[in-house]
Amino acid sequence: MLIAGNWKMFKGPAAAGDFCRALRGASFPDGVDVVVCPPFTSLAEAVQVLAGTDIGVFAQNCHWDTEGAFTGEVSAPMLRELGVYGTLVGHSERRQLFGETDESVGRRSRACLDAGLHVIACVGETLDEREAGKTGDVLRRQLAVLEQDDNLVIAYEPVWAIGTGRTATPEMAQEAHERIKELIDVPVLYGGSVKPENAAELLAQPAVDGALVGGASLDVDSFVGICRAATPS
């Protein structure tokens, strides 16, 4: 069971350090792996504070080339040099706001895996796509660019549930995760307004292997509560 906290564009180095020091003192259930995903400026601080613990530090994005004229991007070797363990790719906000495509998600994922990073690749449908009955088609298209790998994890994040307060029912999450696992045999996290109040029911679903947590991961007590709600099988 994996619980990953995506901090998005929150917490500079000072705030990240305070959070990670508090997180060091928390206890987690056996079989629950914990990851934080700070913004780029806070990665080094998080790595330093969490050194010697089992808590992993992931980036939020990574380019497919090792170096070059790509202003504003960072590469897998740069992340590895910092001590970063893995990265998110293809988050719905990257797709919606910054022109990320299925093809670029596939390239980012493959490059990071080849460089030895772990990858959480995000997939999910919009509200219009769900209401049109296209969830399966969207997931099939998004997963087609990803290759089986021991270090790959998928995060199913229905776009209509990201930062909206709306959450897929446990049954909806289970159904989507089953569809994903029919297409690729890797762990699948649920992401979409996961909170301490709904985490236990979502994480108890047989096909749900953890959670990608957004806003609720910004508060230590909230994030730890979600981690403790995990029920490893």
The residues that are catalytic are 91, 157
Q: Which long-range contacts (CB under 8 A, 24 or more apart) does 172-179 make?
A: 173/202, 173/205, 173/207, 173/208, 174/205, 174/206, 174/207, 174/208, 176/135, 176/139, 177/205, 177/207, 177/208, 177/209, 178/207, 179/135, 179/136, 179/139
CA distance 45 to 7: 14
Q: Please list the helix, strand and coil fractions of the chain in percent, rounded to the nearest 5, in that order.
A: 45, 15, 40
CA distance 32 to 149: 21
Provide the residue type at 145 as one letter. V
Nearest Cα residue to 212 out of 233, 177, 185, 188: 188
Give the residues across from 122 on adjacent strands: 155
Provide the residue type at 16 as one letter. A
